[in-house]
Every structure is written in structure tokens, then in C-alpha cells.
Chain A
Amino acid sequence: MINKPDSFGIAKSKSTQPELPMPRTPMMIEKGLTLVDAINEALYQELERDPRVVLLGEDVGLNGGVFRVTDGLQKVFGPDRVADTPLAESGIMGTAIGLAMAGMRPIPEIQFEGFLGPAYDQLCNHAARYRTRTRGAITIPLTVRVPWGGGIHAPELHSDSPEAIYAHTPGLKVVCPSTPSDAKGLLLSAIRDPDPVVFFEPKRVYRSYREQVPEGDYTIPIGQAKVVQEGSDITVITWGANVFQCLEALDKLPDDVSVELIDLRTISPVDTDTIVQSVQKTGRCVVVQEAPKTCGMASELTTLIQEHCFLYLKAPVQRVTGFDTIMPYYKLELDYLPDAKRIVETIGLTMAY
């Protein structure tokens, strides 16, 4: 088989802990890590642990990525393992597929989710299908990192939420962490996963939230949702940056409404058990997503719930989503994005149903 590492003479991965952990700054030690810091640390540790890991993308090397997520990595691991590529997304994704076939563990970066367009063919028509079309003879263990979503006053094609397109593509796994700790553990899982993973990084959260993150090597399983807050009256399901708008909404709700908040963390494969258990308990559900409404992940979840929880429901499942429009430029961005007010109102109406 082509993708047996040994056939290319590549050393097997070390199982030891990193010998030289990326030093944390006093700020990180005191205040915790941002999402950017946590992903950087995960990449550092995996580059250190596994010689098959290669980062590639536009500006990821010397410049450390346009969001500085790969800052400092080229300096430590050299330009062969942290490679600045020509400006070509299809080229980045296509060569990452080749690297993966030949036993490497490529981590391509696509600079913004809007630029997944040119890479779509390679990702969806090739990376996603290889295992099936070769009946397992050739597999593509790549993790594509993609800054994702709106809310940062960026230009067009820098603020979209296309995750459902990739969740709809068989053969891809789609991970959307919202916190630094989850991002690190999920990224390490994604890199070690035998299949292609799209790793969406909510850029709105990149530097807006800090928390203490375990220093060493740990993984969070792909496909496992997190119950952020337990509750008994209504389930709110979300993922990515919207977790923070939901938390804000929860703060604004009257104390007598007991909300169970679920952060999906992975949207494909989705954690059906956690969702079903929660909604069977609460009997009510609101799904919140930044993406347009029609055929979004929220549509899928709503269906899943009616399949599994129909007789438990006390109210129709509701969706708070972006509109079925093009993501507007930033003057209207906040009118488009789901906010705490819309979430509170929808929870209120669902409770009063």
C-alpha cells in the first residue's frame, strides 16, 4: 500500500512528550491562552512529536500566517516542515493530498474560508473520496485549517460560514471548536485521525477569549459534543463563535429558565446521543448558527431531533441563524449575525409555546 510510512523510509512517530515545549509567555501563564495560542501550541507539539507532520499554506512560514497562528514555527522546524507555498489554494490542497498519500501528515492552511472555493474540487472530489474509491488502499490523513466566520470587520469572502457544505460531503470530518482548550485537544485528534478533517477556527474568538489550557499532550475525541451548562427546560445547541452569543443570551434570561447549552465542537460526525438525551430531557430546543438558514447544520439537527425525540417535544424546534443572503460587508454584519437578543427572544417564545 502506498501510504505505509515505512515504504517511504519515514521514521515512525515518537511517542515521547515534546522535549522542548513552546515556552509560554508570562501573559499566557497568568491569563491563559487565546485560541491562537492554543492552536499554535498544538501545532508545535505535533511537529515535535511526529516527523511526518508538515504545515503548508500561503504566508504560514516566515510571516506566521495572517492571523499569526503559525507564528514562530518555521523558525523552530525549518522551511521544509513549515512551508510557504505559491498562492494557489487548489495547489495547496492537491499537493497536501499527495503528501498524505505518501505517508506524511500534511496540515494545509487555507487563509480564509471564502478561499476554500478554488480548493473545493481537491478537497471534496478527491481527498474525501479516496478511501472509498480505492476501497481503503489509499487514504488521506490531512487536516485543513481554516479561519472561519464573521464578526471581525473583514472584507468580502473573509466572513462566511460554509461548514454545512463540508458536513454534507461524505468522507470529510468537520470540527468547529469554540474554546482554546477544545481547539488544542481537537486539533491533535484531527491531525492523528486517519481521514481528512476540516478544522474550522472561529476567527471572531481568536483573541477575544482566554482560558487555562493543559500544557501537555491531550486529545478530545472528534464527534463528541460538550454540555457547557446543564439545564432542564430547554436545550440550546450551537458551535463555534456562537457559543459566546448563547452564553450572553443565557445571562440575560430570567433565572427560572433552566437552559442546557450544548457546544457541538464537531459537526460531522455529529454527536447524536448527547443531543437526543438532552432534548428528550428538556422537550424543547433552539439551534443557533451563523450560517444561512436553508440547508444549514441547524436544518440537519432539527430533523435529527424530530426523528429521535418527536414524542418528547413540547414545542417545535427553532433555528436562530444567519439569513438566506450573502454575508453583508461589515456595516451590516452585526445585523446579519445571530446575537443574544434574537436568541433570548426565540428561547422565550419556545418556552411560552
Chain B
Amino acid sequence: MPIKTVYTAQIDHLQILDENGVLDEKLAKDTLSDEQVRYLYEFMITCRALDEVAFKLQRSGRMGTYPQNKGQEANAIGSGFAAKKGVDFLVPCYRENAALFLHGLPMHYILLHWMGDERGNQIPEGVNMTPLSIPIGTQMLHATGIAWAFKLRKEARVAITYFGDGATSEGDFHEAMNFASTLQVPCVFYCQNNQWAISVPRENQMNSETVAQKAIAYGMPTIQVDGNDLFAVYKATRDAIERARAGGGPSFIEAVTYRLADHTTADDARRYRDPNEVEAWMGKDPIIRLRKYLEGKGLWNAELQAAHEEKSRAIVAEVIKTAEGIAKPSTDDIFDYTYATLTPNLEVQRRTMRTASLAQDPQQAGLNNPVNA
């Protein structure tokens, strides 16, 4: 019997706007209007400004550890814009701040979170997202569950979850992909392949040529896109969301991007990264190419750039003022959200801030005790 080929696969790579700002008009058709691109470019500048200032806040001791989003903004903005605000549901990691802002999270929430305050996770009513997920890869299963609920209730809604290349090594990733695919739930898996999981490069993280091919094992539509290309990110995400909304099940997107900054402010990437590699990716910055594109079309110039940078500085200053203006929570805050109703035991701990029973119970601590009497 001859050996038959029972499966073959290919992975497409999508790029629409190259690093020189040259657009593939054919592929760009029906994607973003000039007005939208300009709006999103301006938004990207503001998000970058916030990101840079957040870094400085950490360095000057005004904020705790912070993971910079720098260089990856086209992912959050392109995909976030493709999802329907107030309808679809975002399940992020921690390098998609801009997508969260697009969907209505006030900017100061992110700072508040990294300033060590859980109120930064208290997502406002009507804003459809989970808070930042600090452990790696646990959130993808939650996205699958959310999407499953949408399917059960026959709602035309989609969950989109974000994670990095490193997260695809976790067992939870594979379980989420398999559940989503066998259940055919409306979920988009958006992998920001930024090449580095702290100090481990993608090629040591996995022996697969692409991250995108992992979805093939789960029978899921998959694509690789240039993650620093706003158009490609938007188009791939929009297509995946439309497919999911129409009942076509989950999709996988591998977005090839780069973490321009350290993993977090507690990291020093110079210990393990070649500066030439970082330098090369600096040139692929999504902001640079969008600006070139807009300027080429006569939609942008140095004057507008200066004006918008000024505006961004003002927005960021206001965001910091808001975040820093929020006083430390009362110690009740430690207790009040442990359960829907505070247990009697916790009520005593909250009132006394004590755990030793002698300090809690004056009867035991004091002279009324029969032993001391």
C-alpha cells in the first residue's frame, strides 16, 4: 500500500503596511478609512506617551513594577478597534493597555493597578473586560468559557483573548484551544508573539517554525500577521471576529511583534538580548510606519505631530493626577471583597485588625478572666 498524505497545511503571513509606510492598496481595501487611521494613530501616540511616563513613575518610586507595552501598540489598537465596544468581551494579559482603553477602561485604572491598588481592577459597569492577568496563560480558558456562554445564550458576541508566545507553552493554552474548537465557541485567540518570554527567545520556547501552526492541531483557522502593522492586525482580527459572530467558531492569530522595552521594570533585557536586534526592531515601530503613511497621504505633518504630542502630554498628566489623587484604601478594603457576605470571623479581623484572640477578646485579655480573678 502506498503511503498517503492525510494532512497538509500552510500558514499565511499578512502584511498590508510595510515598515516604510507603503500600503498594499488591494489588501487594504475595506479596512480602515483615512479618518480612522488618523484617529488610531493619534491614540497610539497618546498610549505610547502614557507608557513612557508609567516607566518614569516606576523609576522615581511613584509606582510599582510595570510592564511596558512599547512597540506592540498596533496589536492592541488594531484588534481592539476590530472588536465591538460594549458588545464583545476582552480577556487580556498585561501588554494590551490600548485595547482596554478603546473599550472604555479609564486610563488611570491601569496606573492604579500598578500602584498596588485593586481598585484598578474594578472594571466599571458596562465595560466588557476582565482585569489584567498577571499569571501566564490562565486567562485563555476564561475567554473560552465566556464565549461558550455567548454561544449557549445565542448572543452575537465574541470573546477575544490576548497572550504572548511564552503562554503557548502552558497546558492551559492547549486546553483552551481544544475546548474552544471542539465546542465551536466564538473566541479569538490573539497571540502577541513579541519574541521574548522574559529572557527566553521564541526559538528556545518552542521548536515550531511559527506559533500560528499550533492552531492547526486544534482544527482552528489560523494566520500569522505583522503585529506592527495596524492594517494587518485590524483585518485579521475583524475577519476572525466576523467568522465567530456568524457561528464559524474560534480563530487563532499570531501577531509577529517585538517587546522594545524590558519585560517589566524589574527586568534588565541587556543581560540577554543583542542590542542590534533591538535596534533593528526599533525601525519596525508601528508609530514610525503609520506616520510615514499618513504624511505620504498628506494627512499628517510635523506641526500636527507637535500639537498632538502636546495634547497627549496634557492627557497623560491628567491621568497621573487622577491616579495619584486616589488615596490609599482603608484597611476594610482588605476584607470586604473576600466573600459576598463577610463571615463573622472576618468581621472580627476587620474590626480589630488582629488575629490573636487575646487581643480581640477583652474578656480573655483582661482581669475578668476567672484564672486571674
Contact = CB atoms under 8 A, between A and B. Distances in A.
Interface of A: 58-59, 61-64, 66, 84, 86-91, 114-115, 117-118, 153-158, 286, 293-294, 315-316, 318-326, 328-333, 335-336, 338, 342, 345-346, 349-350, 352-353
Given A88-B171, A91-B169, A318 B356 contact: yes
Interface of B: 64-65, 113-118, 134-138, 166-167, 169-172, 197-200, 204-206, 266-267, 271-272, 328-329, 331, 333-335, 337-338, 343, 345-346, 349-350, 353-359, 364-365, 369, 371-372
Contact of A325 (B134, B338, B365, B371): B338
B267 A66 contact: yes
B338 A156 contact: no
Interface of chain B: mostly helix, strand, loop or mixed:
loop
Given A324-B346, A346-B358, A59 B329 contact: no
Contacts of A323: 334-335, 346, 349-350, 355
Contacts of A316: 357-358, 364
B354 A84 contact: no
B205 A86 contact: yes
Given A66-B198, A319-B355, 6 more contacts: A61-B199, A64-B271, A66-B267, A88-B171, A329-B113, A330-B64
A318 B282 CA distance: 59
B356 A325 contact: no
B110 to A, nearest CB: 13
A86 B206 contact: yes
A340 to B, nearest CB: 14
Contact of B169 (A88, A326, A338, A342): A88
A113 to B, nearest CB: 12
A84 B64 contact: no
Given A331-B329, A346-B356, A349-B358, A62 B171 contact: no
Contacts of A342: 354, 356, 359
A295 to B, nearest CB: 12
Contacts of A315: 358
A318 B114 CA distance: 35
A333 B115 CA distance: 12
B358 to A, nearest CB: 4
A288 to B, nearest CB: 10
A158 B172 CA distance: 20
Nearest to A64: B271
A154 B65 contact: yes
Contact of B135 (A115, A154, A333, A335): A115
Nearest to A154: B65
A66 B171 CA distance: 22
Given A153-B64, A319-B356, A329 B116 contact: yes
Given A66-B267, A325-B335, A353-B365, A332 B65 contact: no
B175 to A, nearest CB: 11
